[in-house]
Structure 1
């Protein structure tokens, strides 16, 4: 499988490690689905199995999975975990997004 360009910040890695510690041998799956107020939305879920065709990203002891269709939409993205006064969330800075909603979880291409 050909590698693709996605970065995961140290803040995101630290948060994923914390969340995975409670879930045994789970992996974080990041996918892109139709929906949200901008047309496409990010989905995060913990899974046990790697599916055929998944892009497997291993960083500092964590495993992130991205399915083949989502790869197209996430190419060149940066996955971050942001903590502000009163909020904390995963953020994907996606260079392919032409617009995004106020919550940052949906986007248009």
Structure 2
């Protein structure tokens, strides 16, 4: 009798998605900066009215436990502690008369504050 190797379950950043619109905006911003060594980092930090707050910024660092995905040449990085909070999250970019900026649609957020800046 032989023991079969079973694939290990991983908590990849599979659910974190960068939409095509958001990827194009990130590329445009990086082109303006003249940098090709930066990636988009999405993190969750304590704070805000509801307990947790998103951080979305360009980062050149590589931290232990980072999960990295590529979306058409745009690297998206999520740190080990933030990964469980961001499974299934979608990063998009909206540009309307009412609002302009990146949005995060996170199915793990059970609620958010009135201003939409934090979640729980």
Shift of 1:104: 2.7
Would you say 1:71 and 2:73 are equivalent positions?
A: no
Does the 8 Å CA contact 1:91/1:104 hold for their aligned counterparts?
no
Q: Which of residues 6, 13, 36 is equivalent to 2:23?
A: 13
Shift of 1:76: 0.9
Matched with 1:62 is 74
Matched with 2:48 is 36
- Calculate the TM-score normalised by the size of structure 2: 0.81
* Structure 2: gaps spanning 5 or more residues: 1-8
**Which entry has the higher C-alpha Rg, 1 or 2?**
2
**What SS does the aligned partner of 1:18 have?**
helix
* Structure 1: gaps spanning 5 or more residues: none
The count of aligned residue pairs is 108
- Calculate the TM-score normalised by the size of structure 1: 0.89
Give structure 1 regions of 4+ aligned residues with deviation exceeding 6 angstroms: none
- Which protein is richer in strand relative to its size? 1
**What SS does the aligned partner of 1:104 have?**
coil
* Alpha-carbon separation, structure 1, partners of 2:95 and 2:118: 19
CA offsets 1:20-47 (integer angstroms, 9 cap, x no match): 2215111111100011121111001211
